[in-house]
Amino acid sequence: MSDLKQLEKSVGVKFKNIDLLRQSMVHRSYLNENPGFGLPHNERLEFLGDAVLEIIVTEHLFIKFPKTPEGDLTNWRASLVNSKMLCLVAQEVELEGHLYLSRGEAKDSNSKARQYILANAVEALIGAIYLDQGIKKSSEFVHKKIISKLENILENELYLDPKSKFQEKAQELYKTTPHYKVLSETGPDHDKVFEVGLYLSDELVCRGRGSSKQEAQVDAADKGIKKKKW
């Protein structure tokens, strides 16, 4: 079994019931190979932690920004609780080394699936903190590790997805709306790769790739923002 003392230290919580912390690290795949493990997987804790995280972030935004419209608050909240942000938090507290994974999942360390596993484990961790220590300690963790990133998000408009940000800048600076064109599709139906071009009028700004047209468009927009230094 993993020694969780280092994780407790990184998280900043001394658990009364260490099995809650351990359970938050248990992926479903591990129990398929270790049915006698003795603890359930972390999906129920993840369900709870998702709700705890959302109420803490929502309350903070509601109180801190009394004049900000609901639509903006929704975008800001989404930027704080999305899987990319939670994966970053997982890396900061060095959570990955404490995950209980199947042998197959343990090998596949660079996949998108691993990012989701890490993000889900952070939600499960928040659920475990809530059950063990209550809302006050959960709120301290969320403020320290997640809400603390809000200033940078607002300053750099990271709450806008790349397509929205590129479109806003293009309309502001070029008075035109960008458009996307599929340039190629490669690979079998179950594993296609799309390449799209991002255009301003007739100018091909850059190309993006992804496993769906939407993913390729987002990749192109992200590259376009960097290329235009927006």
Q: For residue 53, which of 128, 139, 134 has the smallest C-alpha distance?
A: 139
Identify whether 123 is a catalytic site residue. yes
User: 3-state SS string over 105-172?
Assistant: HHHCCCCHHHHHHHHHHHHHHHHHHHHHHCHHHHHHHHHHHCHHHHHHHHHCCCCCCHHHHHHHHHHH
DSSP SS3 for 100: strand
- Is 49 in contact with 125 (CB distance < 8 Å)? yes
Q: Which of 105, 123, 132, 195 is catalytic?
A: 123
With contact defined as beta carbons under 8 Å apart, do 13 and 132 qualify?
A: yes
Amino acid identity of 47?
F
Catalytic residue among 46, 50, 195, 222: 50
Q: Angle, to 10 degrees, between the axis of helix 43-64 and the axis of helix 70-81?
A: 140
Catalytic residue set: 50, 123
